[in-house]
Amino acid sequence: MKQKMVLRFPAAVVEQPFTYHLIKDYNLMINILKANINPRMEGRMVVEISGAEDDFHRGIEFLQSSGVKAFPLEQEIAWVEERCTHCGACVIICPAGALVLERPSMEVKFLNEKCIICEHCLKACPARAMEARF
């Protein structure tokens, strides 16, 4: 299985080598999409984790038992469709291709499985249709 996850590290554990343990002890592949880690401060990473389903669940249990919060990525950025005016401003700036303009309808769609939580669209959207839920 393959799953994009958001990992939030409390300050007390931010310097521990969690990715090393996920790879070595749980046979998981970790692709780091985004990381914001500072010594002695809360950290956040967006990662794509792939491996056997059992190993994946054991790895997530290991993280959670160590105080790391792990969420599927799609829970973090939301598109509020009712507010969207389909202006297309977000499509141009999204680096991951997660916001696309469909033709011939010319309507914008959010493909949350592609989102890497860069947050560029939050500032670019004039209608405040993109929300961070963290």
Write the DSSP symbol of residue 90: H
Site membership for ligand SF4, residue 118 (CB under 6 A):
yes
Task: Choose one: 21-29, 38-46, 65-73, 120-128; the region binding ligand SF4 (CB under 6 A).
Answer: 120-128
- Based on CB atoms, which residue is closest to ligand SF4, 40 or 133? 133
Contacts (CB under 6 A) with ligand SF4, residues 27-86:
77, 84-86
CB of 30 to ligand SF4, least distance (A): 19
Query: Which of 88, 92, 102, 134 is in the footprint of ligand SF4 by CB under 6 A?
Result: 88
Long-range contacts of 81-89, Cβ-Cβ distance < 8 Å, separation of 24 or more? 81/129, 83/127, 83/128, 83/129, 84/108, 84/127, 84/129, 85/126, 85/127, 85/129, 87/126, 87/127, 89/124, 89/125, 89/126
Query: Binders of ligand SF4: how many residues, by CB under 6 A?
Result: 25
Listed in sequence order, the DSSP H helices in 1-134 are: 18-26, 53-65, 89-93, 120-124
Which is nearer to ligand SF4, 23 or 33 (by Cβ)? 33
Count Cβ neighbours within 10 Å for each residue of 100-119 and write b for 16 or more, e otherwise. beeeeeeebbbebeebbbbe
CB of 119 to ligand SF4, least distance (A): 5
Which of 98, 106, 113, 134: binder of ligand SF4 (CB under 6 A)? 98
List contacts with ligand SF4 (CB under 6 A): 77, 84-90, 94, 96, 98-99, 108, 115-121, 124-125, 127, 129-130
